[in-house]
Protein backbone atom coordinates (compact mmCIF):
# COMPACT_ATOMS: atom_id res chain seq x y z
CA UNK A 1 0.00 0.00 0.00
CA UNK A 2 1.38 3.44 -0.93
CA UNK A 3 1.92 6.19 1.63
CA UNK A 4 -0.98 8.20 0.14
CA UNK A 5 -3.30 5.19 0.45
CA UNK A 6 -2.20 4.66 4.06
CA UNK A 7 -3.03 8.31 4.87
CA UNK A 8 -6.43 8.17 3.12
CA UNK A 9 -7.54 5.11 5.09
CA UNK A 10 -6.90 6.67 8.50
CA UNK A 11 -9.68 8.04 10.69
CA UNK A 12 -8.50 9.73 13.90
CA UNK A 13 -11.22 11.06 16.18
CA UNK A 14 -12.12 11.83 19.78
CA UNK A 15 -15.26 10.78 21.63
CA UNK A 16 -16.51 13.67 23.75
CA UNK A 17 -19.49 14.17 26.08
CA UNK A 18 -20.78 15.45 29.40
CA UNK A 19 -19.91 13.03 32.25
CA UNK A 20 -21.99 9.85 32.34
CA UNK A 21 -23.48 10.25 28.85
CA UNK A 22 -22.04 6.84 27.91
CA UNK A 23 -18.88 7.89 26.13
CA UNK A 24 -16.58 5.16 27.45
CA UNK A 25 -19.28 2.51 26.88
CA UNK A 26 -19.59 3.67 23.25
CA UNK A 27 -15.80 3.43 22.84
CA UNK A 28 -15.94 -0.12 24.16
CA UNK A 29 -18.69 -1.10 21.71
CA UNK A 30 -16.88 0.47 18.74
CA UNK A 31 -13.87 -1.68 19.65
CA UNK A 32 -16.19 -4.68 19.89
CA UNK A 33 -17.72 -4.07 16.44
CA UNK A 34 -14.25 -3.38 15.06
CA UNK A 35 -13.13 -6.82 16.27
CA UNK A 36 -10.49 -5.34 18.59
CA UNK A 37 -11.96 -7.03 21.68
CA UNK A 38 -14.13 -10.13 22.11
CA UNK A 39 -16.48 -8.95 24.88
CA UNK A 40 -17.23 -5.50 26.23
CA UNK A 41 -16.79 -4.33 29.80
CA UNK A 42 -18.94 -1.99 31.85
CA UNK A 43 -17.87 1.35 33.29
CA UNK A 44 -19.53 0.81 36.68
CA UNK A 45 -17.73 -2.20 38.10
CA UNK A 46 -20.80 -3.54 39.88
CA UNK A 47 -22.45 -4.37 36.54
CA UNK A 48 -19.93 -6.69 34.95
CA UNK A 49 -16.73 -8.18 36.39
CA UNK A 50 -14.63 -6.97 33.44
CA UNK A 51 -13.90 -3.23 33.46
CA UNK A 52 -13.68 -1.22 30.26
CA UNK A 53 -10.59 -1.24 28.05
CA UNK A 54 -10.16 2.54 28.07
CA UNK A 55 -10.70 3.12 31.83
CA UNK A 56 -7.64 1.24 33.08
CA UNK A 57 -6.36 3.47 35.90
CA UNK A 58 -7.34 2.17 39.35
CA UNK A 59 -9.19 5.37 40.28
CA UNK A 60 -11.16 5.21 37.01
CA UNK A 61 -12.35 1.68 37.85
CA UNK A 62 -13.37 2.76 41.38
CA UNK A 63 -15.16 5.98 40.44
CA UNK A 64 -16.65 4.82 37.11
CA UNK A 65 -15.34 7.93 35.32
CA UNK A 66 -12.54 8.63 32.83
CA UNK A 67 -9.82 10.92 34.22
CA UNK A 68 -7.34 10.60 31.38
CA UNK A 69 -7.52 10.39 27.60
CA UNK A 70 -7.08 6.82 26.32
CA UNK A 71 -5.86 5.92 22.83
CA UNK A 72 -7.08 2.83 20.98
CA UNK A 73 -6.65 1.68 17.40
CA UNK A 74 -8.25 -1.02 15.26
CA UNK A 75 -8.86 -1.93 11.61
CA UNK A 76 -12.39 -1.90 10.19
CA UNK A 77 -13.36 -2.43 6.53
CA UNK A 78 -9.84 -1.57 5.36
CA UNK A 79 -9.84 1.64 7.43
CA UNK A 80 -7.42 2.25 10.30
CA UNK A 81 -9.49 3.77 13.11
CA UNK A 82 -7.76 5.68 15.93
CA UNK A 83 -10.08 6.46 18.87
CA UNK A 84 -9.20 8.89 21.63
CA UNK A 85 -11.62 8.44 24.57
CA UNK A 86 -11.55 11.65 26.62
CA UNK A 87 -12.57 12.51 30.19
CA UNK A 88 -16.05 14.06 30.38
CA UNK A 89 -15.69 15.53 33.86
CA UNK A 90 -15.05 19.28 33.71
CA UNK A 91 -12.17 18.98 36.20
CA UNK A 92 -10.26 17.15 33.45
CA UNK A 93 -11.38 19.38 30.57
CA UNK A 94 -7.78 20.50 29.99
CA UNK A 95 -6.83 16.97 28.88
CA UNK A 96 -9.86 16.91 26.56
CA UNK A 97 -9.13 20.33 25.02
CA UNK A 98 -5.56 19.28 24.25
CA UNK A 99 -6.76 15.98 22.77
CA UNK A 100 -9.05 17.89 20.38
CA UNK A 101 -5.90 19.45 18.90
CA UNK A 102 -4.71 15.94 17.92
CA UNK A 103 -7.82 14.64 16.10
CA UNK A 104 -9.45 15.25 12.72
CA UNK A 105 -13.07 14.76 13.77
CA UNK A 106 -15.30 14.12 16.78
CA UNK A 107 -18.19 11.91 17.86
CA UNK A 108 -20.28 13.69 20.49
CA UNK A 109 -22.41 11.54 22.80
CA UNK A 110 -25.65 12.99 24.18
CA UNK A 111 -27.82 11.31 26.82
CA UNK A 112 -31.42 11.13 25.50
CA UNK A 113 -32.77 11.57 29.04
CA UNK A 114 -30.74 14.66 29.98
CA UNK A 115 -30.25 16.20 26.52
CA UNK A 116 -27.65 18.93 26.02
CA UNK A 117 -25.62 19.54 29.21
CA UNK A 118 -23.10 22.28 30.21
CA UNK A 119 -19.93 20.35 29.36
CA UNK A 120 -21.43 19.44 25.95
CA UNK A 121 -21.74 23.14 25.15
CA UNK A 122 -18.15 23.91 26.19
CA UNK A 123 -16.73 21.03 24.16
CA UNK A 124 -18.67 21.97 21.05
CA UNK A 125 -17.38 25.54 21.33
CA UNK A 126 -13.82 24.15 21.10
CA UNK A 127 -14.82 22.05 18.06
CA UNK A 128 -16.43 25.06 16.40
CA UNK A 129 -13.33 27.15 17.06
CA UNK A 130 -11.26 24.55 15.18
CA UNK A 131 -14.01 23.81 12.60
CA UNK A 132 -13.81 20.14 13.60
CA UNK A 133 -16.47 17.90 11.95
CA UNK A 134 -18.88 16.47 14.54
CA UNK A 135 -21.13 13.38 14.39
CA UNK A 136 -23.75 13.19 17.16
CA UNK A 137 -24.71 9.90 18.83
CA UNK A 138 -27.86 10.13 20.97
CA UNK A 139 -27.43 7.41 23.57
CA UNK A 140 -29.50 5.51 26.17
CA UNK A 141 -32.63 5.03 24.01
CA UNK A 142 -33.34 2.00 26.22
CA UNK A 143 -34.30 4.51 28.96
CA UNK A 144 -37.41 6.68 29.13
CA UNK A 145 -36.03 9.84 27.52
CA UNK A 146 -37.08 12.82 25.44
CA UNK A 147 -38.89 12.70 22.10
CA UNK A 148 -36.41 12.33 19.23
CA UNK A 149 -37.65 15.44 17.36
CA UNK A 150 -37.47 17.50 20.58
CA UNK A 151 -33.87 16.34 21.10
CA UNK A 152 -32.88 17.42 17.58
CA UNK A 153 -34.49 20.84 18.16
CA UNK A 154 -32.63 21.19 21.46
CA UNK A 155 -29.27 20.29 19.84
CA UNK A 156 -29.79 22.85 17.06
CA UNK A 157 -30.90 25.57 19.48
CA UNK A 158 -28.44 24.96 22.34
CA UNK A 159 -25.34 24.02 20.34
CA UNK A 160 -26.11 26.29 17.37
CA UNK A 161 -25.35 23.59 14.84
CA UNK A 162 -27.50 22.15 12.04
CA UNK A 163 -28.32 18.45 12.26
CA UNK A 164 -29.40 15.68 9.89
CA UNK A 165 -30.62 12.35 11.35
CA UNK A 166 -29.24 9.31 9.51
CA UNK A 167 -30.90 6.70 11.73
CA UNK A 168 -34.21 6.89 13.61
CA UNK A 169 -35.33 5.16 16.81
CA UNK A 170 -38.40 2.93 16.96
CA UNK A 171 -39.96 3.46 20.37
CA UNK A 172 -38.06 4.51 23.47
CA UNK A 173 -37.33 3.06 26.91
CA UNK A 174 -39.05 -0.26 27.53
CA UNK A 175 -40.73 -0.13 24.12
CA UNK A 176 -37.45 0.51 22.22
CA UNK A 177 -37.41 -1.88 19.22
CA UNK A 178 -34.33 -0.82 17.27
CA UNK A 179 -33.31 1.74 14.65
CA UNK A 180 -34.29 2.51 11.08
CA UNK A 181 -31.40 3.39 8.77
CA UNK A 182 -32.59 6.40 6.74
CA UNK A 183 -29.71 6.16 4.25
CA UNK A 184 -29.90 2.42 3.55
CA UNK A 185 -33.71 2.47 3.99
CA UNK A 186 -33.36 -0.65 6.12
CA UNK A 187 -34.67 -1.66 9.51
CA UNK A 188 -32.35 -3.14 12.10
CA UNK A 189 -34.13 -5.00 14.88
CA UNK A 190 -32.07 -6.30 17.76
CA UNK A 191 -33.08 -9.50 19.50
CA UNK A 192 -32.33 -10.37 23.12
CA UNK A 193 -30.93 -8.31 25.96
CA UNK A 194 -27.30 -9.35 26.19
CA UNK A 195 -25.13 -6.36 27.09
CA UNK A 196 -21.71 -7.81 26.39
CA UNK A 197 -21.74 -9.36 22.92
CA UNK A 198 -22.81 -8.23 19.44
CA UNK A 199 -26.39 -9.23 18.63
CA UNK A 200 -27.64 -10.52 15.29
CA UNK A 201 -29.28 -7.87 13.14
CA UNK A 202 -32.51 -8.45 11.21
CA UNK A 203 -32.77 -6.34 8.05
CA UNK A 204 -36.00 -5.37 6.27
CA UNK A 205 -35.47 -3.36 3.11
CA UNK A 206 -38.84 -1.68 2.48
CA UNK A 207 -40.57 0.51 5.05
CA UNK A 208 -43.98 -0.15 3.39
CA UNK A 209 -43.55 -3.93 3.67
CA UNK A 210 -46.34 -5.47 5.80
CA UNK A 211 -43.64 -7.65 7.44
CA UNK A 212 -42.74 -4.48 9.37
CA UNK A 213 -46.17 -4.47 11.05
CA UNK A 214 -45.74 -8.13 12.03
CA UNK A 215 -42.32 -7.49 13.55
CA UNK A 216 -42.94 -4.30 15.56
CA UNK A 217 -46.74 -3.97 15.61
CA UNK A 218 -49.13 -1.72 13.63
CA UNK A 219 -48.81 1.33 15.90
CA UNK A 220 -44.99 1.40 15.83
CA UNK A 221 -44.92 0.70 12.07
CA UNK A 222 -47.33 3.56 11.35
CA UNK A 223 -45.44 5.94 13.65
CA UNK A 224 -42.15 5.09 11.94
CA UNK A 225 -43.63 5.74 8.46
CA UNK A 226 -45.01 9.12 9.61
CA UNK A 227 -41.67 10.08 11.26
CA UNK A 228 -39.70 9.21 8.11
CA UNK A 229 -42.04 11.35 5.96
CA UNK A 230 -41.60 14.25 8.40
CA UNK A 231 -37.78 13.89 8.45
CA UNK A 232 -37.58 13.93 4.64
CA UNK A 233 -39.79 17.04 4.60
CA UNK A 234 -37.93 18.97 7.33
CA UNK A 235 -34.26 18.05 6.92
CA UNK A 236 -32.13 18.36 3.78
CA UNK A 237 -30.18 15.33 2.60
CA UNK A 238 -26.69 15.23 4.11
CA UNK A 239 -24.12 17.37 2.32
CA UNK A 240 -20.81 15.64 3.17
CA UNK A 241 -18.75 18.75 2.40
CA UNK A 242 -20.82 20.80 4.86
CA UNK A 243 -20.18 18.10 7.48
CA UNK A 244 -16.43 18.24 6.76
CA UNK A 245 -16.54 22.04 7.10
CA UNK A 246 -18.18 21.68 10.54
CA UNK A 247 -21.47 23.24 9.39
CA UNK A 248 -23.80 20.24 9.79
CA UNK A 249 -23.77 17.19 12.06
CA UNK A 250 -25.14 13.75 11.11
CA UNK A 251 -27.14 12.26 14.02
CA UNK A 252 -27.41 8.60 15.04
CA UNK A 253 -29.66 7.09 17.72
CA UNK A 254 -29.00 4.02 19.82
CA UNK A 255 -28.07 2.40 23.10
CA UNK A 256 -24.36 1.77 23.52
CA UNK A 257 -24.81 -0.58 26.48
CA UNK A 258 -27.16 -2.78 24.39
CA UNK A 259 -25.25 -2.50 21.07
CA UNK A 260 -28.19 -0.70 19.39
CA UNK A 261 -27.25 1.63 16.54
CA UNK A 262 -23.46 1.25 16.89
CA UNK A 263 -22.78 -0.53 13.59
CA UNK A 264 -24.71 2.12 11.62
CA UNK A 265 -22.66 4.84 13.30
CA UNK A 266 -19.34 3.09 12.60
CA UNK A 267 -20.22 2.25 8.96
CA UNK A 268 -21.14 5.86 8.19
CA UNK A 269 -18.23 7.29 10.18
CA UNK A 270 -15.49 5.46 8.25
CA UNK A 271 -17.15 6.46 4.95
CA UNK A 272 -17.56 10.20 5.53
CA UNK A 273 -15.14 11.23 8.33
CA UNK A 274 -12.04 13.11 7.15
CA UNK A 275 -8.68 11.49 6.65
CA UNK A 276 -5.73 13.35 8.30
CA UNK A 277 -5.83 17.10 7.72
CA UNK A 278 -3.14 19.73 7.19
CA UNK A 279 -1.81 21.54 10.28
CA UNK A 280 -0.68 25.08 11.00
CA UNK A 281 2.89 25.71 12.21
CA UNK A 282 5.14 28.69 12.93
CA UNK A 283 6.60 28.17 9.43
CA UNK A 284 3.30 27.75 7.54
CA UNK A 285 1.06 24.79 6.69
CA UNK A 286 2.23 21.16 6.97
CA UNK A 287 0.33 18.63 4.82
CA UNK A 288 0.00 14.89 5.57
CA UNK A 289 1.41 14.12 2.10
CA UNK A 290 4.63 16.08 2.76
CA UNK A 291 7.74 13.87 2.44
CA UNK A 292 9.44 14.89 5.68
CA UNK A 293 8.21 13.56 9.02
CA UNK A 294 6.69 15.88 11.64
CA UNK A 295 4.46 15.47 14.69
CA UNK A 296 3.66 16.94 18.10
CA UNK A 297 3.28 15.75 21.70
CA UNK A 298 -0.23 16.41 23.04
CA UNK A 299 -0.22 14.24 26.15
CA UNK A 300 2.25 12.66 28.58
CA UNK A 301 1.32 9.80 30.89
CA UNK A 302 3.48 8.38 33.68
CA UNK A 303 3.13 4.77 34.81
CA UNK A 304 0.86 3.53 32.03
CA UNK A 305 2.13 0.12 33.14
CA UNK A 306 2.28 0.07 36.98
CA UNK A 307 4.84 -2.80 36.88
CA UNK A 308 7.32 -0.60 35.02
CA UNK A 309 7.75 3.00 36.08
CA UNK A 310 7.58 4.19 32.49
CA UNK A 311 6.62 7.57 31.07
CA UNK A 312 4.92 7.69 27.69
CA UNK A 313 4.65 10.75 25.46
CA UNK A 314 1.73 10.60 23.01
CA UNK A 315 2.77 11.77 19.54
CA UNK A 316 0.31 12.73 16.79
CA UNK A 317 1.96 12.20 13.40
CA UNK A 318 1.19 15.04 10.98
CA UNK A 319 3.37 14.39 7.91
CA UNK A 320 5.84 11.92 6.39
CA UNK A 321 6.45 8.47 7.88
CA UNK A 322 7.66 7.83 11.41
CA UNK A 323 10.29 5.04 11.45
CA UNK A 324 11.61 3.11 14.41
CA UNK A 325 15.31 3.69 15.30
CA UNK A 326 15.58 6.76 13.07
CA UNK A 327 16.90 10.05 14.50
CA UNK A 328 14.43 12.94 14.73
CA UNK A 329 14.91 16.58 15.69
CA UNK A 330 13.45 17.78 19.02
CA UNK A 331 12.80 21.43 18.11
CA UNK A 332 12.59 22.98 21.61
CA UNK A 333 15.62 21.13 23.01
CA UNK A 334 17.61 21.26 19.74
CA UNK A 335 18.44 17.55 20.24
CA UNK A 336 18.42 14.54 17.96
CA UNK A 337 16.42 11.66 19.47
CA UNK A 338 16.02 8.02 18.42
CA UNK A 339 13.20 5.68 19.53
CA UNK A 340 13.88 1.95 19.67
CA UNK A 341 10.44 0.86 20.89
CA UNK A 342 7.67 3.22 19.68
CA UNK A 343 4.29 1.71 20.52
CA UNK A 344 0.76 1.47 19.21
CA UNK A 345 -2.02 1.37 21.80
CA UNK A 346 -5.02 -0.55 22.91
CA UNK A 347 -5.48 1.61 26.02
CA UNK A 348 -3.03 0.09 28.51
CA UNK A 349 -1.82 -2.67 26.17
CA UNK A 350 0.99 -1.68 23.84
CA UNK A 351 2.75 -3.24 20.86
CA UNK A 352 6.02 -2.08 19.28
CA UNK A 353 5.68 -0.72 15.73
CA UNK A 354 8.25 -0.22 12.95
CA UNK A 355 6.51 2.63 11.18
CA UNK A 356 3.48 4.93 11.53
CA UNK A 357 1.67 7.33 9.21
CA UNK A 358 -0.06 10.73 9.45
CA UNK A 359 -3.16 10.42 11.63
CA UNK A 360 -1.62 7.76 13.85
CA UNK A 361 -1.05 8.37 17.55
CA UNK A 362 1.97 6.52 18.92
CA UNK A 363 3.64 6.30 22.30
CA UNK A 364 7.28 7.22 22.83
CA UNK A 365 9.12 6.12 25.98
CA UNK A 366 10.28 9.34 27.55
CA UNK A 367 13.11 9.88 30.03
CA UNK A 368 11.98 13.44 30.73
CA UNK A 369 12.79 14.99 27.33
CA UNK A 370 9.25 15.97 26.41
CA UNK A 371 6.71 18.58 27.41
CA UNK A 372 3.18 18.98 26.09
CA UNK A 373 3.25 20.89 22.80
CA UNK A 374 6.76 19.76 21.78
CA UNK A 375 7.41 19.25 18.06
CA UNK A 376 9.48 16.47 16.46
CA UNK A 377 10.63 16.90 12.86
CA UNK A 378 12.98 15.43 10.29
CA UNK A 379 15.40 18.33 10.71
CA UNK A 380 13.25 21.46 10.29
CA UNK A 381 12.80 24.07 13.03
CA UNK A 382 9.11 24.88 13.48
CA UNK A 383 6.45 24.42 16.15
CA UNK A 384 2.87 23.26 15.67
CA UNK A 385 0.27 25.83 16.74
CA UNK A 386 -2.98 25.52 18.66
CA UNK A 387 -2.00 23.26 21.59
CA UNK A 388 -3.52 25.08 24.58
CA UNK A 389 -1.71 25.65 27.86
CA UNK A 390 -3.73 26.24 31.02
CA UNK A 391 -3.72 28.58 33.97
CA UNK A 392 -4.80 27.08 37.33
CA UNK A 393 -8.05 28.00 39.07
CA UNK A 394 -7.47 26.21 42.41
CA UNK A 395 -4.35 26.03 44.58
CA UNK A 396 -3.23 23.78 47.46
CA UNK A 397 -0.08 23.42 49.56
CA UNK A 398 1.49 19.95 49.36
CA UNK A 399 2.26 18.44 52.77
CA UNK A 400 4.45 15.34 52.93
CA UNK A 401 2.86 12.83 55.32
CA UNK A 402 5.81 10.41 55.24
CA UNK A 403 9.28 12.04 55.51
CA UNK A 404 10.89 8.67 54.65
CA UNK A 405 9.32 8.92 51.19
CA UNK A 406 10.41 12.48 50.30
CA UNK A 407 12.23 11.41 47.12
CA UNK A 408 9.24 9.36 45.93
CA UNK A 409 6.90 12.32 46.54
CA UNK A 410 9.19 14.70 44.65
CA UNK A 411 9.46 12.32 41.68
CA UNK A 412 5.70 11.68 41.68
CA UNK A 413 4.83 15.38 41.71
CA UNK A 414 7.35 16.08 38.93
CA UNK A 415 6.05 13.30 36.68
CA UNK A 416 2.34 13.80 37.31
CA UNK A 417 2.52 17.56 36.69
CA UNK A 418 4.48 16.84 33.48
CA UNK A 419 1.30 15.15 32.24
CA UNK A 420 -0.37 18.56 32.16
CA UNK A 421 -3.10 17.82 34.73
CA UNK A 422 -1.66 20.39 37.14
CA UNK A 423 1.02 23.05 37.61
CA UNK A 424 3.73 22.78 40.27
CA UNK A 425 5.13 25.90 41.95
CA UNK A 426 7.88 26.24 44.60
CA UNK A 427 7.72 29.24 46.94
CA UNK A 428 10.86 31.41 47.02
CA UNK A 429 10.90 32.11 50.78
CA UNK A 430 10.36 28.65 52.29
CA UNK A 431 10.53 26.18 49.38
CA UNK A 432 6.95 24.94 49.98
CA UNK A 433 5.35 23.18 47.04
CA UNK A 434 2.03 24.42 45.66
CA UNK A 435 -0.09 22.50 43.15
CA UNK A 436 -2.50 24.43 40.91
CA UNK A 437 -5.34 22.71 39.01
CA UNK A 438 -8.45 23.48 36.96
CA UNK A 439 -10.80 21.40 39.15
CA UNK A 440 -10.98 20.02 42.69
CA UNK A 441 -11.20 16.37 41.61
CA UNK A 442 -7.67 16.59 40.22
CA UNK A 443 -6.24 16.87 43.75
CA UNK A 444 -7.97 13.62 44.65
CA UNK A 445 -6.58 11.92 41.54
CA UNK A 446 -3.03 13.19 42.17
CA UNK A 447 -3.21 12.09 45.83
CA UNK A 448 -4.47 8.65 44.82
CA UNK A 449 -1.84 8.21 42.11
CA UNK A 450 1.00 9.40 44.39
CA UNK A 451 0.03 6.64 46.82
CA UNK A 452 -0.66 3.82 44.35
CA UNK A 453 2.09 4.56 41.80
CA UNK A 454 4.88 6.12 43.91
CA UNK A 455 4.07 4.87 47.43
CA UNK A 456 4.14 8.50 48.60
CA UNK A 457 1.60 10.00 51.03
CA UNK A 458 0.61 13.64 50.76
CA UNK A 459 -2.22 15.91 51.85
CA UNK A 460 -3.37 19.01 49.98
CA UNK A 461 -3.95 21.92 52.33
CA UNK A 462 -5.90 25.13 51.75
CA UNK A 463 -4.06 28.21 50.54
CA UNK A 464 -5.65 31.58 49.96
CA UNK A 465 -4.69 32.35 46.35
CA UNK A 466 -6.52 34.24 43.63
CA UNK A 467 -4.13 33.80 40.68
CA UNK A 468 -0.63 32.60 39.80
CA UNK A 469 0.81 34.83 37.08
CA UNK A 470 4.11 34.52 35.28
CA UNK A 471 6.10 37.76 35.42
CA UNK A 472 8.56 39.42 33.05
CA UNK A 473 10.16 42.84 32.41
CA UNK A 474 12.23 44.41 29.65
CA UNK A 475 14.87 45.37 32.20
CA UNK A 476 16.21 42.63 34.50
CA UNK A 477 16.76 45.17 37.30
CA UNK A 478 13.04 46.06 37.35
CA UNK A 479 12.19 42.36 37.75
CA UNK A 480 14.75 41.95 40.57
CA UNK A 481 13.37 44.99 42.45
CA UNK A 482 9.81 43.66 42.15
CA UNK A 483 10.81 40.15 43.29
CA UNK A 484 12.68 41.62 46.28
CA UNK A 485 9.74 43.82 47.26
CA UNK A 486 7.17 41.00 46.92
CA UNK A 487 9.47 38.11 47.94
CA UNK A 488 6.83 36.37 50.10
CA UNK A 489 4.53 36.22 47.03
CA UNK A 490 7.09 34.87 44.56
CA UNK A 491 7.36 31.23 43.46
CA UNK A 492 9.06 29.38 40.63
CA UNK A 493 7.46 26.99 38.17
CA UNK A 494 9.08 23.73 36.99
CA UNK A 495 11.10 25.61 34.36
CA UNK A 496 12.39 27.97 37.07
CA UNK A 497 10.37 30.86 35.66
CA UNK A 498 9.28 33.41 38.32
CA UNK A 499 5.58 33.49 39.22
CA UNK A 500 3.64 36.08 41.24
CA UNK A 501 1.13 34.55 43.69
CA UNK A 502 -1.72 37.06 44.02
CA UNK A 503 -3.93 36.50 47.07
CA UNK A 504 -6.74 38.69 45.71
CA UNK A 505 -7.72 40.74 42.67
CA UNK A 506 -7.11 43.90 44.74
CA UNK A 507 -3.51 42.89 45.66
CA UNK A 508 -2.82 42.10 42.01
CA UNK A 509 -4.10 45.52 40.97
CA UNK A 510 -1.95 47.18 43.63
CA UNK A 511 1.15 45.36 42.36
CA UNK A 512 0.38 46.35 38.76
CA UNK A 513 -0.07 50.00 39.71
CA UNK A 514 3.08 50.20 41.87
CA UNK A 515 5.24 48.34 39.30
CA UNK A 516 4.01 49.42 35.83
CA UNK A 517 7.11 48.02 34.11
CA UNK A 518 6.31 44.45 35.20
CA UNK A 519 4.21 42.33 32.84
CA UNK A 520 1.84 39.74 34.31
CA UNK A 521 0.97 36.69 32.17
CA UNK A 522 -1.84 34.12 32.52
CA UNK A 523 0.12 31.63 30.39
CA UNK A 524 3.70 30.46 30.74
CA UNK A 525 4.40 31.03 27.02
CA UNK A 526 5.05 34.72 26.39
For each of the domains in the chain, give its residue range(s) and CATH number, in order of start: 3-96+104-272 (3.40.50.300), 279-377 (3.40.50.300), 394-521 (3.30.70.3280)
pLDDT at 349: 55
Return the exposure string of 426-444: e unless at least 16 CB atoms fall within 10 Å of the residue's CB, then b. Answer: bbbeeeebbbbbbbebbbe
The better pLDDT of the pair 76, 440 is held by: 76
Mean pLDDT of 92-111: 81
Most confident listed range (181-195, 202-216, 371-385, 440-454): 371-385
Quick one: what percent of the chain has pLDDT higher than 70? 84
How far apart are alpha carbons 397 and 180 in whole angstroms? 56
pLDDT at 190: 62
pLDDT band of residue 88 (cuts 50, 70, 90) is very low
Mean pLDDT over all residues of the chain? 83
Lowest mean pLDDT among 48-57, 285-294, 439-448, 486-495: 48-57
CB neighbours of residue 350 within 10 Å: 20
pLDDT at 7: 94
pLDDT band of residue 157 (cuts 50, 70, 90) is very high
Mean pLDDT of 349-356: 80
pLDDT at 284: 93
Lowest mean pLDDT among 93-97, 168-172, 504-508: 93-97
pLDDT exceeds cutoff 90 at 210: no
Mean pLDDT of 10-16: 91
pLDDT at 16: 85
pLDDT at 32: 82
pLDDT band of residue 50 (cuts 50, 70, 90) is very low
pLDDT at 517: 95
pLDDT at 53: 44
How far apart are alpha carbons 190 and 496 in whole angstroms? 59
pLDDT exceeds cutoff 90 at 59: no
The better pLDDT of the pair 184, 12 is held by: 12
8-state DSSP, 103? -
| Alpha-carbon distances, residue 297 vs 11, 364, 372 (angstroms) | 19, 9, 5
Mean pLDDT of 307-321: 82
pLDDT band of residue 483 (cuts 50, 70, 90) is very high
pLDDT band of residue 351 (cuts 50, 70, 90) is confident
The better pLDDT of the pair 187, 285 is held by: 285
pLDDT at 208: 82
Report the sign of the C-alpha dihedral through residues 426, 432, 433, 434, in that order. Answer: negative
How far apart are alpha carbons 438 and 421 in whole angstroms? 8
Q: Under a CB-based contact definition with an 8 Å cutoff, are residues 152 and 126 in contact?
A: no
pLDDT exceeds cutoff 70 at 492: yes
Q: Residues 252-273: pLDDT tens digits?
A: 999 888 888 888 899 999 999 9
Torsion, Cα 218 146 149 187, to 10 degrees, reads -40
The better pLDDT of the pair 92, 384 is held by: 384
pLDDT band of residue 193 (cuts 50, 70, 90) is low
Mean pLDDT of 74-88: 81
Give the angle 77-127-365 at the CA atoms, nearest 5°: 65
| Alpha-carbon distances, residue 88 vs 29, 103, 138, 238, 276 (angstroms) | 18, 16, 16, 28, 24
Mean pLDDT of 115-134: 84
pLDDT band of residue 56 (cuts 50, 70, 90) is very low
Helical axes 218-234 vs 148-159, angle rounded to 10°: 30
pLDDT exceeds cutoff 50 at 516: yes
| Alpha-carbon distances, residue 69 vs 60, 91, 96, 99, 108 (angstroms) | 11, 13, 7, 7, 15
Overall residue count recorded for the chain in this entry: 526
pLDDT band of residue 318 (cuts 50, 70, 90) is very high
pLDDT exceeds cutoff 50 at 94: yes
Q: Under a CB-based contact definition with an 8 Å cutoff, are residues 133 and 246 in contact?
A: yes
pLDDT at 60: 43
Amino acid sequence: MTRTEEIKRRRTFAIIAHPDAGKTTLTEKLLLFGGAIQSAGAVKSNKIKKSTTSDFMEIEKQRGISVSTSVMAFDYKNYKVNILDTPGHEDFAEDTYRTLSAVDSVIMVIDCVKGVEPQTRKLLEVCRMRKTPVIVFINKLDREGQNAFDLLDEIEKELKIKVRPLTWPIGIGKSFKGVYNLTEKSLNLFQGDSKTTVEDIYTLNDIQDKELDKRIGNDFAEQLRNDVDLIDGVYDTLNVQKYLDGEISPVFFGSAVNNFGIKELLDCFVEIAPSPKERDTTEGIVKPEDEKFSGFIFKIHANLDPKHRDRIAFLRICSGVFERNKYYHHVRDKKELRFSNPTAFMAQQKSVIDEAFPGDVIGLYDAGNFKIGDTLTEGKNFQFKGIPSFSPELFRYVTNLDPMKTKQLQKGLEQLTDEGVAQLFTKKVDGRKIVGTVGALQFEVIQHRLKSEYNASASFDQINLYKALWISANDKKDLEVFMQDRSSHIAYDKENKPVFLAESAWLLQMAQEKFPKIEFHLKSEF
